[in-house]
Amino acid sequence: MLLRQKFFERPTVELAQALLGKYLVYGQLWGKIVETEAYLYRGDPGCHAHKGQTPRNAPMFGPAGRTYVYFIYGMYHCLNIVSGQTGEGEAVLIRALEPVKGLEIMQKNRRTSKLENLCSGPGKLTQAFGLTKKHNNLSLQKGPLYIYNNKEKPRITRSQRIGLSTGQELELRFFIQGNRFVSK
């Protein structure tokens, strides 16, 4: 069942945990969300929006349930789900997926046959799904990206975020305990 708008209209830390176990769907490609990171407008120097709105981070200030895709290190795209209240500038980074359907396409896109290496990081999963800046600021209600429910109640672990120069001490990373597709 497609998750409705109301699902995304919750506090960012809560959404980061609620997304775990849900399915990210793009055409024939399905992946179970196994790792997320919350990015908060206030008190979080790791958040792109902490200094205010810019043309790059503008989708973060829009309504919850939209995508925020950005390009990093000159080589990777990262997919975020806008969260919180309109105007706050918050989002949840999708850090890792467990590949479910469309494995052959993901393997071709990533140029690897190793399942654990397809979506075990934010840049890897966007490559596997073929996501780019053209997927920025899209409604998860209107597509082409969707989030579907899963009745599973995963065991969630919390830790510090990965790869940040500031704000890394905040325990805003969430992942499904023991899942082999979580980023390393």
User: Would you give the DSSP letter of residue 58?
Assistant: G
Which structure tokens are listed for 180? 């082999």
Which structure tokens are listed for 164? 């940040």
Domains of the chain: 5-176 (3.10.300.10)
The whole-number pLDDT of residue 74 equals 75
User: Would you give the DSSP letter of residue 170?
Assistant: S
Residues in the chain predicted with pLDDT less than 50, given as ranges, are none
Contact (CB, 8 A) for 89 and 53: yes
The whole-number pLDDT of residue 140 equals 97
With vertex at residue 130, the alpha carbon angle to CA 89 and CA 24, rounded to the nearest 5 degrees, is: 60
Which is nearest to 145 in space by CA: 94, 74, 107, 105? 94
The whole-number pLDDT of residue 164 equals 73
Q: Would you call the peptide bond into 59 cis, given omega within 30 degrees of 0 as the criterion? A: no
The whole-number pLDDT of residue 46 equals 82
The whole-number pLDDT of residue 72 equals 84
Which structure tokens are listed for 34? 């196994």
pLDDT in tens, 49-96: 988 899 999 999 999 999 999 998 778 999 999 998 899 999 999 999
The whole-number pLDDT of residue 78 equals 96
Which structure tokens are listed for 179? 């899942």
